[in-house]
């Protein structure tokens, strides 16, 4: 009886270790891209949310109607930003990748006195 308990505990430990290492590997392969789009209503957001998450390699999609931005978290080895851009454009929206540099250009600089 004790040997069955020990074997079960060891198998459980091995299974959980393998699962955790697989999850860590997937986290390292994730990347995020933001697109400035032509979405302008909740129906546009719904269209994006019903289609883009089902692209191969997409892990998360967020739409910000106020800034008209779509943020996609994806697996780098399965899909590219260019493919994501085309999938948004196929839905009838414009999509332009936003880089950090472009975002910084739009923010006001501190003034000196």
The tens-digit pLDDT sequence of the chain (113 residues) is: 778 878 887 777 777 777 666 555 555 689 999 999 999 999 999 999 999 999 999 999 999 999 999 999 999 999 999 999 999 999 999 999 998 754 445 544 444 44
Q: Is the pTM of this model over 0.85?
A: no
The per-residue pLDDT for 12 is 78
pLDDT at 3: 84
What domains does the chain contain, in order, with CATH numbers? 28-104 (3.30.70.100)
The runs of H, that is alpha helices, within 1-113 are 2-28, 42-51, 81-90, 100-106
- How far apart CA 15 and CA 42 sit, in angstroms, is 43
């Amino acid at each position: 009886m004790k040997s069955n308990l020990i074997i079960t505990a060891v198998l459980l430990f091995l299974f959980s270790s393998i699962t955790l290492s697989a999850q860590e590997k997937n986290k390292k392969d994730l990347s995020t891209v933001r697109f400035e789009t032509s979405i302008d209503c909740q129906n546009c957001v719904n269209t994006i949310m019903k289609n883009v998450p089902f692209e191969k390699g997409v892990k998360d999609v967020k739409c910000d109607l106020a800034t008209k931005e779509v943020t996609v978290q994806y697996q780098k080895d399965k899909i590219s930003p260019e493919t994501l851009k085309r999938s948004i454009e196929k839905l009838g929206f414009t999509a332009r990748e936003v880089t950090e540099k472009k975002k910084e250009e739009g923010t006001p600089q501190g003034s000196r006195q």
